[in-house]
Amino acid sequence: MTFQKAIMKWYDREGRELPWRVKGGLRQDAYKAWLAEIMLQQTVVKTVIPYYLKFLKKWPTVENLAKAKEEDVLREWAGLGYYARARNLLKCAQAVVRDYNGAFPDQEEELRKLPGIGRYTAASVRAIAFQKPANVVDGNVERVMARIYAVKEKMPAAKEKLYTLAGKLVPRERAGDYAQALMDLGATICTPDNPQCDKCPVQKFCKAYAEDAPEKYPQREAKKAVPQKYGHVYWLMGKDGVLCERRAEKGLFAGMVGLPTSTWELKQGKTKPPVKALWKKSGLIKHSFTHFDLTLQIWHASAEKYDKIKESYFWIQKKDIYDAGLPTLFKKVLPYTLGAAAATANSTGRKRAR
């Protein structure tokens, strides 16, 4: 039995059941395949599923999505991270409707002309939506190839070699099923730690298994230390609600709704709150980005009167704050500040009652 037949037999029996997936060589709707692949970039499956279902319910076709407002897309995307994906999602939908009459092209070179679609996503859409041969290589597939061939070169330098090796195995038929089978193998059996080699359908082809050293691959360069940054975040309850900020159009969380913050520095700087008020500390939150870790000191205050606020600031009713589309960083503030704000308001009310 060939490598391809062995893994396909396993996939037909053991492949994961996912809401964007069809099996048996059937073609998935291109819009659904594309939407899932964009969401799955840098994000685990269990996190993506509710977002995918929510998006499909709100925008069931590419034409529906193309008509959406960016702020609505960003709000529904909030919590998935890597927000440039959401902006490109909308731009891509608009381009498909405008330039391709609402039908995704089936050629990789055409797909890669669309916003937010690179080599991996183009290959994935071609394979899954059209069942046409394409070399679909993500991190899971890289790990499988590194172990099958016991590739000695270290990552990330080995990426192109792994891509070439994977390309030599792509079958002519059931290309989408094969691509998803490889990804499933890497996600469920050929895992980074403690791979289940005894359950692997392609064990007999694996050189790393023959060496009794699967976890040795893929080999990697030593990781560089991630910088640590610090800053302040502010929760202000006013007569009009919670003070929020529309983030600048460039940088992290570009164009999204957030809470006012200081700049983020390598050393904790002095607090510079958005308005004069009796500010009190509420705790610390930590968050990890791709290139740095962040610690923010939370401050809370209540004020019925305040100085003129910045043009980018606006108010959201407290009851609506959870539905405001806050990125995960700012959602981490809410358990501290909602409790603190409520306590402050209750305390103020009791003093007035006396």
Catalytically active residues, by annotation: 37
Beta bridge partners of 244: 314
State both tokens at 198. Answer: 């005894």
Beta bridge partners of 288: 293
Q: Identify the sign of the CA torsion 276, 278, 284, 285.
A: negative
Three-state DSSP state, 298? strand
Alpha-carbon distance of 292 to 299, in angstroms, equals 22
Alpha-carbon distance of 1 to 57, in angstroms, equals 42
Return the beta strands (E) in 117-227 as ranges.
Answer: none
Hunting for tokens 């360069």 — which residue is that?
221
Q: Tell me, rounded to whole angstroms, the distance of Cα 348 from its chain centroid.
A: 41
Is the separation of the CB atoms in 279 and 234 below 8 Å? yes
Three-state DSSP state, 307? coil
